[in-house]
């Protein structure tokens, strides 16, 4: 009597997901966007999302913005699936599993190389950092999901208002049933010491901390100054009489011939910009007249002028009209 082969059970070790990661797995739809702070654990989540489908025997793909960023993820993925790896192509970043599943790992430096492939699931790591991500997603990646009616995950720390933010907005739209999105700060990772996050909060510029650790989408990614948007908004209906007896200040950038000169007037008491004017292709004497007229209308107490390269004659004319209220930088 011939001997019967017994099925062999192989176990792989994968770190357990923390509650926020598990919530994403539980609530996922077809297209999914995670905006998260640094050290949230998005890469581990992405690896597990890819593994779930590959263990079921399906082809999956992982995308990183650059080859250098891909290298570390490739190493982690290779180590995790080593016990169930049937064949591995190090050069092509491809792993075939004994389950019949396939994991392709790509750098979006060369997105067009993906054309012609088909996947059940794709994971895009640091999607907000991918140059030309909209074209890569729409023209190259999405077609790879058609055969299997596959799904996709974008995982990233925000980088301003870009295509990643559009995807996030899709997931927040209750009428869009195919998209889901989540926003988690670094502190959602229960294994991250709160003291370390507090240290970063105290050490970093406010906007940097908000983006990198609170996962906030900022209008001016990389901006230096704080609270620009809430404090510098010129109301369309602002009137001088509404700010009578308030302290008003102004800034003036006198431009060269082909650029715009810009005058900004702010109310120091209300902490808001009340008027803004921009003009070009008029003589400096006419520019000074326009500026002085606005400053007198708003009863501006002091103006700071950036007059780099416009000449001393212009500055002298402005100072004589303003009786010492102007200061140049």
Residue 222, pLDDT score:
45
Q: Are residues 186 and 284 in the same domain?
A: no
Does 67 share its domain with 175? yes
Model pTM score: 0.66
In a shared domain, residues 81 and 45: yes
Report the length, in residues, of the chain: 329
- Band of pLDDT at residue 319, cut at 50, 70 and 90: confident
Q: Which domain holds residue 277?
A: 232-328
Which range among 116-125, 139-148, 229-238 shows the weakest confidence by mean pLDDT? Answer: 229-238
256: pLDDT confidence band, cut at 50, 70 and 90?
low
Both 196 and 62 in one domain: the answer is: yes
CB 165 within 8 A of CB 158: yes
Q: Is residue 11 part of a domain?
A: no
192 and 253 both lie in a single domain:
no
pLDDT score, position 1: 47
Is the residue at 43 inside a domain? yes
Q: How many domains does the chain have?
A: 2
Phi, psi of 18 (to 5 degrees): -85, 170
Residue 261: strand pairing partners: 279
Shared-domain flag, residues 181 and 253: no
Place of tokens 């396939």: 102
- Residue 321 falls within a domain, yes or no? yes
Mean pLDDT is lowest, of 17-31, 34-48, 299-313, for: 299-313
- Tell me: do 91 and 188 sit in the same domain: yes
Structure tokens at 256: 């060269």
102-107 vs 179-184, strand pairing mode? unpaired
Residue 240 maps to which CATH number?
Answer: 3.30.420.240
pLDDT for res 62? 97
Q: What is the 3-state secondary structure (H, E, C) of the chain?
A: CCCCCCCCCCCCCCCCCCHHHHHHHHHCCCEEEEEECCCCCHHHHHHHHHHHHHHCCCEEEEEECCHHHHHHHHHHHHHHHHHHEEEEECCCCEEEECCCCEEEEEEHHHHHHHCCCCCCEEEEECHHHCCCHHHHHHHHHHHHHCCCCCEEEEEECCCCCCHHHHHHHHHHCCCCCCEEEEEECHHHCCCCCHHHHHHHHHHCCHHHHHHHCCCCCCCCCCCCCCCHHHHCCCCCCCCHHHHCCCCEEEEEECCCCCCCEEEEEEECCCCEEEEEEEECCCCHHHHHHHHHHHHHHCCCCEEEEECCCCCHHHHHHHHHHHCCCEEEC
Q: Where residue 111 sits, what CATH number does that domain have?
A: 3.40.50.300
| Tens of pLDDT, residues 179-190 | 999 999 999 999
116 and 251 inside one domain:
no
């Amino acid at each position: 009597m011939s001997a019967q082969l017994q099925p062999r059970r192989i176990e792989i070790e994968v770190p357990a997901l923390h509650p926020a990661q598990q919530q994403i797995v539980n609530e996922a739809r077809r297209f999914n966007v995670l905006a998260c702070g640094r050290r949230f654990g998005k890469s581990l989540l992405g690896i597990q999302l890819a593994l779930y489908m590959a263990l079921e025997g399906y082809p999956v793909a992982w995308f990183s913005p650059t080859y250098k960023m891909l290298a570390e993820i490739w190493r982690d993925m290779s180590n995790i699936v080593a016990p169930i790896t049937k064949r591995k192509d190090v050069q092509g970043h491809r792993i075939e599993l004994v389950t019949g599943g396939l994991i392709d790992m790509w750098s979006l430096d060369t997105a067009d190389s993906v054309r012609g492939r088909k996947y059940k699931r794709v994971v895009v790591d640091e999607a907000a950092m991918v140059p030309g991500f909209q074209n890569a997603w729409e023209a190259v990646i999405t077609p790879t999901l058609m055969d299997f009616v596959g799904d996709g995950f974008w995982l990233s720390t925000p980088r301003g208002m870009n295509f990643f933010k559009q995807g996030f907005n899709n997931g927040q739209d209750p009428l869009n049933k195919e998209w889901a999105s989540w926003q988690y700060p670094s502190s959602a990772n229960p294994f991250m010491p709160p003291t370390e996050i507090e240290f970063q909060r105290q050490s970093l510029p406010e906007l940097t901390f908000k983006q990198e650790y609170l996962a906030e989408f900022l209008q001016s990614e990389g901006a230096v100054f704080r609270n620009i948007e809430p404090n510098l908004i010129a109301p369309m209906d602002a009137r001088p009489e509404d700010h009578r007896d308030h302290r008003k200040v102004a800034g003036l950038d006198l431009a060269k011939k082909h650029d715009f000169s810009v005058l900004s007037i702010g109310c120091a008491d209300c902490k808001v910009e009340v008027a803004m004017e921009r003009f070009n292709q008029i003589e400096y004497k006419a520019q000074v007249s326009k500026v002085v007229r606005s400053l007198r209308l708003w009863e501006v107490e002091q103006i700071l002028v950036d007059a780099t390269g416009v000449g001393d004659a212009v500055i002298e004319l402005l100072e004589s009209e303003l009786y010492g209220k102007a200061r140049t930088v």
